[in-house]
Chain A
């Protein structure tokens, strides 16, 4: 198939070539067409180019023409034209330019323009100017001074621009220079004038600024900077509206400059009240003068200012303070002087002018009130105030206003000095003037001529400084009304007391509206009656008397805005005009609450005094003893009922009679009183009271002197106690004591009985237990043949229960022994380590079985010998460790450790068991109080183990305690002395003495022996009577310690034999016995032994003491023998 197709293709090859040739031909034709079109286009472009060349030629011709046309203009213009190259060489210059340089035009080409500049600075400026022109487009300017050959200086401004050539190869600079010499001269003049003005400006003490016609500040004086707190940089050149950050955006000021200024050249007295950020409110008085400077054709404005803030605010404050004060201020009768905060006088009213003889202008802004006050008084006042207020105060203005500056109401007398040097006493009331932020802006000193006041005190009281002070005081409510009673003034005191603001009441209500209406009605009625004229209840009732010129002060209840009431004392004065017509009323009220309270308190006090007197009387009367007071001479001044009973006389009969009359021995009674007066008191002074009825009572007198508040002796206070009663009580007490003693004996007996009972019980219980345990053991040991597993288990249960019962009985028995004091320590010296390990050994098996890790701390300091009762120590350890094992769950640990602490070992048994609740700890060591509910159900035990353990520890002189955390484990810690002897000082003294111990009980013997050896004695031991006798003969000991109950020859016999023996008769014998010796027993030993001691009750320390004293007794005997 494929071969067929190939053959077919080769047949068609010539046909394909023809087709390709056709395509070529067509393409060629197309290209020819395009070529023709391009030729045509080129031709039309050539034509266009020719036309453009023509135009260009025309344009060049035109330029040439216009250059010629303007050449003249160029040459003769009043401006100097220069063309410079990039290096500042003159390329071309017009005639004017050449004239400016004073050089022939033809000589200038190629010259450095800089060579015509007058100074080096100018040349520097020019080279900088060129650089700027070349680098940036547009016109550049600079001022230069040219120096001409003829020496005439030219000021000119150079204005330059780059001029690029067509080829753009070289850059030229085209510059123009205007001759500015005339302008410059004017400017200098202006500068001089400005400096002159500035100097003038500076000399002005009030703020002054000079503005140019743009209202920009040209200059300002120091006072301006101070007043507005701006810097020079913030001021000069700035718009007057915008001084640094101090915005003067004040419509009034704007209007001033924009509207008024173009039409007026002068304006005075404009006030600008503006709050400046940072310096607060300022009220500025402005005076402006516009000056036209003809030579420069513009205005400058001189703006003078005066800071009248203080004055205005003072005036405002005065205005605010109301009509009365304003009246005072305008009155020629008061000298009103307002100052700024520094004391410089700002206001000096007509009164001040009249009184002091100065005109306002003379003092304002120049002096302080201190300058017109008596300097000595000012100094004295400064000193007094420094003391009073405990702060240093400068003599001067500060002394006059210091109190007021601290907000203290201040009125004082001061001597003012007039201009003519004469003096007058004034009463000055000082008030601090404050701005809205409560900052002090000044002071107002209102003075009245005190001579006038003294002449017409009453009048001045009504209208003088005092009233003004009252009016300003927050402690007085001052309410002024018009003639109809409508409130016109409502001062701070009124606002404070009544809770209304002045605005709320002024021109709205009358004082009657804020008074208790019932009181107003009652007052109207009372006044109607009193003055026999009908008076309307209302405002009229409040001021009627005052309106008739009657002094009127009365109590009235005011009602506060919140409805609460307070009692006020109100004083009413009618205010009259010059024609003596009433124009209003002034009601000054004081809050009477305090006085009312004092009255109430006084009443309470007197009630309390009465109560106290009653109380004293009650005490006096209710006393068990007969009481009386006498004067210093022994005359009775007061008695109580018991005294009446004792003497069988009435109170009236007793008072006024001599004290001694009531006693059998009057001389002794009188002596008693004298003793009291002498010694201030007597106690238990025995007397016999004699009653009128003849009854005689033994009394014991206790008496003291007493005094009044001023420590003046008032007399004697005496209490006579009936001692028959006391004697009876003593009897009763004795009986009670006897009963108690009997009760105690009974209790002791009972206790003994209990112990005996317990001992018997234990015996009765032990006997059957003996066989229970015994048989169980035999069965368990399978002595008589095997038993099966079940039986073994039962036997084991019987044995366990039996042993538990036995330990219970043993504990009870031991406790009863301890309680009855029958438990004694059987001391021996042993290794603590061995003993502790033996204790652990007993429980190791059980611990292992329960999965508890029981071990002794390896670091324990147990490698010591200890003298103690080993069996009891084991018991202690066994109890604690078995307890720990018992209460520790599987996987836990029981850890025994011991550390030495001085003469004691401290042994700790720690477990990780269930722990003990904190509240249970105190119960833990008490017998018969098991911690039932929580522990015993799960953990069986006798509950006596710990009680017994404690007893055993304490018996050794140790201490036991527990630290436990519930759920975490417990630590039982006990201490035990290393030795039972604590006194060792005499060890060496007795080193030579030999003691023979005769006792069959090895433990007792060992304990005693060790004690003695430890103290340096030589010790011999015999375990029966026969041996003891032999040793006594051979060793001749210094002391024989003898037990009475001995196997073979007993102690009694031995004592007999020793007493009879020649060599042994002088050896002292200390009998140590546990026996309860009968009288016969004692008789048998009497004279033969040195002393008999009870074994059970003897501590090892006491034993040593006995041995010591026995050996000491023996010494003389030995010497004798």
Chain B
């Protein structure tokens, strides 16, 4: 049974890129293009890993993440922030918001599979 990964990303290109790569590597990939859809889909699918873009129109990634982490039903989901924010203190902000990890764009397509594998591995935190 392959791991299920939910990608929440408004930028269609990036979304397609992530989807294709992860699909290629054998994951069961679902996608949402904004925070609201992402939250709904996450509740439905209860994926093993959520890759959440932060800057999105409508509900942004931060809000979506906090909703999911705040809901006991979904608080156990592993959510990784995907962001272009690279300013000092960003990482702390996301960790403070409850995110389980943080991935700065641009994402190396060659490193991503490895990272995903790490996050999915039980009992590991980064």
Contacts and interface: CB of A to CB of B under 8 A. Distances in A.
A784 interface: yes
B86 A774 contact: no
A1076 B87 CA distance: 13
Interface string A1029-1067: 000000000000001111100100000000000000000
A784 B17 CA distance: 12
A1074 B95 contact: no
B13 A768 contact: yes
A944 interface: no
Contacts of B95: 1000, 1045-1047
Interface of B: 11, 13-14, 16-18, 20-21, 24, 55, 84-89, 91-93, 95-96, 100, 105-110, 125
A962 B108 CA distance: 35
A778 B109 CA distance: 7
B93 A771 contact: no
A771 B96 contact: no
A771 B109 contact: no
B11 A781 contact: no
Contact of B24 (A768, A784, A1046): A784
A778 B20 contact: yes
A85 B20 CA distance: 154
A1096 B20 contact: no
A640 B94 CA distance: 78
A1001 B89 CA distance: 12
Nearest to A822: B88
Nearest to B91: A1001
A771 B17 contact: yes
Contacts of A770: 11, 14, 17, 84, 105-107
Nearest to B13: A771
B110 A781 contact: yes
A1074 B20 CA distance: 37
Contact of A774 (B14, B84, B89): B14
5 contacts: A778-B21, A783-B21, A1045-B96, A1046-B95, A1047-B100
Contacts of A364: none
A803 to B, nearest CB: 9
Interface size class of A (residues with CB under 8 A): 35 or more
A1047 B80 CA distance: 13
Contact of A773 (B18, B84, B106): B106
Given A763-B84, A822-B87, A822-B88, A781 B96 contact: no
Nearest to A775: B17
B84 A778 contact: no
A1078 interface: no
Contacts of A769: 106
Nearest to A824: B88
Contacts of A767: 11, 14, 55, 84, 105
Contact of A1074 (B86, B88, B105): B88
- Which 5 A-B residue pairs are closest in the complex by CB-CB distance? A771-B13, A1045-B92, A770-B106, A763-B84, A766-B84
Given A767-B84, A778-B17, A1047 B105 contact: no
Interface of A: 759, 762-764, 766-771, 773-775, 777-778, 781, 783-784, 806, 813, 817, 822-824, 1000-1001, 1023-1024, 1043-1047, 1050, 1073-1076, 1096
Given A1046-B95, A1047-B100, A771 B11 contact: yes
A1050 B11 CA distance: 32
A766 B89 contact: no
Contacts of A759: 85-87
A1073 B96 CA distance: 12
A774 B96 contact: no
Contact of B87 (A764, A781, A784, A817): A817
B51 to A, nearest CB: 12
A770 B85 CA distance: 13
Contacts of B96: 1044-1045, 1050, 1075
Contacts of A771: 11, 13-14, 16-17
A781 B17 CA distance: 13
Contacts of A762: 84, 86
Given A767-B14, A775-B17, A1024-B125, 14 more contacts: A766-B105, A770-B107, A774-B18, A774-B106, A775-B13, A777-B108, A777-B109, A777-B110, A781-B110, A783-B20, A1000-B95, A1047-B125, A1050-B96, A1074-B89
A784 B105 contact: no
A1043 B92 CA distance: 9
A824 to B, nearest CB: 7
B119 to A, nearest CB: 13
A386 B33 CA distance: 118
Given A766-B105, A783-B24, A813 B86 contact: yes
B40 to A, nearest CB: 24
B24 A806 contact: no
B92 A1074 contact: yes
Contact of A1075 (B17, B21, B92): B92
Given A763-B84, A770-B106, A784 B14 contact: no
